[in-house]
Structure 1
Amino acid sequence: MRCWSCGRCRAPRPRCGWSSGTGTWWARMTSWVEFPPQTLQQKPPNGWFRLLPFPGTEEDSGGSLGALRLKVRLTEDRVLPSQHYQPLMALLLESVRGPVEEDTASPLAVLEEVASGDCRRDLATTLVKLFLGQGLAGPLLDYLTRREVARTRDPNTLFRSNSLASKSMQQFMKLVGMRYLHEVLKPVVSRVFEERKYVELDPCKMDLSRARRISFKGAPSEDQVRESSLGLLTGYLGPIVDAIVGSVARCPPAMRRAFKQLRLCVEERFPQAEHQDVKYLAISGFLFLRFFAPAILTPKLFDLRDQHADPQTSRSLLLLAKAVQSIGNLGQQLGQGKELWMAPLHPFLLQSISRVRAFLDELVDVDGEEEAGGPARALVPPSVTLREGYLLKRKEEPAGLATRFAFKKRYFRLSGEDLSYAKSPECQVRSSIPVSHIRAVERVDEGAFQLPHVMQVVTQDGAGALHTTYLQCKNVNELNQWLSALRKASAPNQDKLAACHPGAFRGGRWTCCLQAERPAVGCSRTHSAVTLGDWSDPLDPDAETQMVYRQLLLGRDQLRMKFLEDSHLDTGLEADTGRGPSATHGTCPEFLTGQRAAAAHLLEVLADLDRAHEEFQRQGQVAPGPPGP
């Protein structure tokens, strides 16, 4: 965590400070946190800390500021050059191609055993991104779900736990399906926020005085509030269900193929007639209970709204989310439990279930093996406008030239063919940058121009010369969206740059690495892989493989003991948990030999990475940080 002032945090230069004596770090001149030195010596630092107002802030506000405690965990890691991760990457990719029943010593099997609940979500996100970049997200999900289904005896508990398979499918939907989610839910969610109607079905929570102020003339009764609320809820639920069941064509093909494989796996495991609904529940459990319903409940977390809902709107969203969950459960729990006050909605919910079954049947009716991620391909048709809006533009400066007002406001329009710009949207005279000429699209350090939210577009002309255009966005959200859009549009381009400078060439040197030659090779890796969405960072396979390596280290001793040190080994890594394959495999000498060989190979790869990290630490080969003030 570094900045240009203190060298320890990422805050801009004039907005941070550091006291080495007390371990105090404050940022943005409004608040500060004190880290005791002994806490920072933990591996990794982890604890609760009070967020304090910056001196003078509390007095200025009349002493009315509240108290806030933060859960802080600091992690630091070193990412090696790509070639060091290739053996581990090969093992990970090989894991999904092997038979699930006999896999207990592969990296994925070990990860599944050692991943704790706290890190399982992050690990699932890392694995999904890693395999998306290789075009193998589908096989990864199929591998994990087959392992989960194979050890599930009661179909009613299928995917109900927070297993690695459940978390991976959940993160996969978020990564590839956010645009789809917005198209389906945003119109109705926006309506709920704008109308702010009083909705309540639970008589224990009804506030008749509030209902009178908002929805009625005079003093309403509980029946009147219930009848009004029922009408409002069905008025919202109707469009939601219509949008969902009519969204098959808009659902990303990668999601549809993943659901198809999931359904086939469940049908093979539970073919009995009494389990005919399991194939529907397996898919709806993810799509409705882990995707649509959470997005309705907390729209801000899914970028459906900029702010959290007020208490009244939040209650309406909660009731809608409960209804969508009931539909996703195919009405199996209607009339049961403690929420009998939801009964007025039951007729509507039951009418929707048959439509949902038909929707799920149509959703998995998909052919083809094309995978999300993988080799770059055209993601945007040439005629489609991907993004447009005002940005501040600056060209790279000739040597020795530094103008004071170099950024000019221009209206940009990005299509699959070019990035054009003019003084205004109506201006007929426009300049353009062909998308096919783009070689890199990267963020720029704030210290390069002393400005935030700047990105660079590096292009190559016909003569092979590189040119850089700097663009400043108004906020970080806009920056991320432009980065994603430009990377999508230029995804098929060849000859992408492997590295570039996150700074600018000013004063005869690069601000990022202090090299004194403009053509000097870039000091920072580029993110040339396909992006996942407007709200997601690009794929970074080296950093993601590094996290997998760190997680595998937690299971190294267990792996060595189970497969290499125990001469009487007769079961796999999972046998002790009661979830592994049958003992038939464990008593087969050929099977045990293969298991030991796989375990030994994985341990050898981990040892090689250990040595590489030790060597880099001895040589002090770390990525250069931004210059000091």
Structure 2
Amino acid sequence: MNIVNLISKACDTKDEAAREIVTILNEGNLAIPFLSYQCKLEISNTKSHETLFRGTSFCTKGVDYYMKLICKNYLEETIGPTIKKIVKQHKDCEIDPSKLLNDSGEYISNAEEVPEENIENLKEYSRSILDSIFENSTQFPVELEELFSNIQDYAIEQFPDFYDIRYSSVSAFIFLRLFSPAILNPQLFGLIDENLKTREVRTLTLISKFVQQTANLVEYNNSKEPYMSVLNDLIKEYIPYIKKYIDLITRIHHKTIIKPKKIFFGMFKKKANDNDKVDIQCDLAKRFSSLHRIINRNLDNIKKEVNRNNNREEKKAFNELKIIIEKLNDKAVILSNNSIDDKNI
């Protein structure tokens, strides 16, 4: 795992590296301990609870990708039906006065002129989204239960004086980095196939904003997007449910639910058995090849990171990594030469 941690810290393309590393480790049931460790490092290096997981790092990219990897069915069961209903019903949910016209064809001047029907439409869909999430909490992927339980424990230990850190540390991922983006762009998450019309795009944008704000456990103030304050009563109503939901999805009694496999590197293709919640086919050979290219490209960066830290374990891991890469490079040259010879015959 030391080698993987080195790669994660020094790679130049966090998206690509996170995708390949997490996919490979997931095949050996090692993604949870790896991501837990990455989150623990990030938490320990975060000075303020208000900025925890707010930036883009290898840690957040890794968890983002892992959630997308295993949560497609869960998203379809929770927010999928309401999103499909929004697309089908085509209701107007606009509540921003600057985007609404009056009978004279002029933009309305204040929030009091926003049609009550629009507000109620938006509230109806927002309720439906959150209600479905809460009602399906028992279907939450067990892998993420363990990961988020670990994250919550680390955050509480790092920021013991801030009670709500037990909620914000988890909502930073499940709501702000999964539900809200999936609501905002359901096509990207495979929830719908059709292209969205302008009205539906705007409706989903408003709902995504509402979900994010509610997950932040604070109401809207009048200084930023004041028109959204009409949803404050709904936010106030749902904050306790957000907390209860997070309590439920992090309440596990035994850690290491997902047992690591002793051998998996020889299995270039694998399908989860019927008892698993995750059903993924993965071409490991392709993933390892991609990771090989990433490491080759970043070997000097990794070396600089090791020298900077001057850590014995990291130096040992780097030497092991270098030997592996040199052998793979030699193998690649041999295969390339054989391929050229075959073409010349």
TM-score scaled by structure 1?
0.49
Is residue 24 of structure 2 the alignment partner of residue 114 of structure 1?
Answer: no
Aligned residue for 2:98, secondary structure, equals coil
Secondary structure of 1:162's counterpart equals coil
Flag the 1:253–1:107 CA change in 2: closer, same or farther, 3 A.
closer
Alignment-derived partner of residue 198 in structure 1: 92
Distance 1:186 1:286 in 2: 19
Residue 210 of structure 1: CA displacement?
A: 11
Q: Distance in 2 between matches of 1:613 and 1:192?
A: 52
Give the root-mean-square deviation of aligned CA atoms: 3.2
1:258 has 2:139 as partner: no
Q: CA deviation at 1:223?
A: 3.6
Q: What residue is the counterpart of 1:599 in the other structure? A: 318
Q: Give how far 1:281 is off.
A: 0.8
Residue aligning to 1:327: 214
Q: Percent identity?
A: 23
C-alpha separation between the residues in 2 aligned to 1:348 and 1:233?
11
Letter in 1 for 2:128: P
How far, CA to CA, are the matches of 2:136 and 2:248 in structure 1? 10
Checking the alignment, whether the CA contact within 8 Å between 2:24 and 2:288 is kept in structure 1 is yes
Query: CA–CA distance in 2 between the matches of 1:535 and 1:362?
Result: 20
Q: Find the aligned partners of 2:304 and 2:88 in 1 and give their Cα distance.
A: 60
Alignment-derived partner of residue 291 in structure 1: 178
Match of 2:159 in 1: 270
| Structure 2 partner of 1:124 | 18
Secondary structure (helix, strand or coil) at the match of 1:175 reads helix
Q: Unaligned stretches of 5+ in structure 1? A: 1-93, 96-105, 212-218, 377-497, 499-524, 564-568, 573-585, 587-591, 625-629
- The answer on whether the counterparts of 1:130 and 1:545 sit within 8 Å (CA) in structure 2 is yes
Check conservation: 1:248, 1:363, Cα contact below 8 A.
yes
Match of 1:159 in 2: 53
Q: Quick one: distance in 1 between partners of 2:146 and 2:270?
A: 26
Task: Verify the 8 A CA contact 2:52 2:169 in the aligned structure 1.
Answer: yes
Q: CA deviation at 1:373?
A: 8.5
Alpha-carbon distance between aligned partners in 1 of 2:224 and 2:173, rounded to the nearest angstrom: 24
Q: Structure 1 residues 622 and 112 mapped into 2: Cα distance closer, same or farther (>3 Å)?
A: farther
The CA distance in 1 between the partners of 2:341 and 2:124, in whole Å, is 58
Which of the residues 190, 202, 213 maps onto 1:303? 190
How many positions carry a matched residue from both structures?
336
Instruction: Name 1:340's counterpart in structure 2.
Output: 226
Letter aligned with residue 184 of structure 1:
T
After TM superposition, the structure 1 = structure 2 runs for residues 148-547 of structure 1, keeping only pairs within 5 Å, are: 148-208=42-102, 223=112, 225-272=114-161, 275-331=162-218, 334-335=220-221, 337-368=223-254, 369-371=256-258, 374=261, 527-530=269-272, 538-547=281-290
Deviation at 1:122, TM superposition (A): 2.6
- Structure ranking higher in strand proportion: 1
Q: Which entry has the higher C-alpha Rg, 1 or 2?
A: 1
Task: Go from structure 1 to structure 2 and tell me whether the alpha carbon gap of 1:177 and 1:373 turns closer, same or farther (over 3 Å shift).
Answer: farther
Q: Distance in 2 between matches of 1:201 and 1:246?
A: 28
Give a deviation string over 1:521-578, Cα, whole Å, max 9, x none. xxxx973343999999621222212222211123322444565xxxxx6x40xxxxxx
Are the aligned partners of 1:289 and 1:328 in contact in 2 as well (CA < 8 Å)? yes
Which fold has the larger relative contact order, with Cα–Cα distance below 8 Å and residues 6 or more apart in sequence? Answer: 2
1:554 lines up with 2:297 in the alignment: yes
Letter matched to residue 10 of structure 2: E
Measure how far apart 1:623 and its partner are.
12
Q: Which amino acid in the other structure matches residue 8 of structure 2?
A: L
More helix by share: 2
After superposition, give the CA deviation of every residue in 1:276-311 in whole Å (9 maximum; x if it has no partner). 212211111111111111111111112221112100
1:145 aligned residue (30, 39, 60): 39
TM-score, normalised on structure 2?
0.87
Gaps in structure 2 of 5+ consecutive residues: none
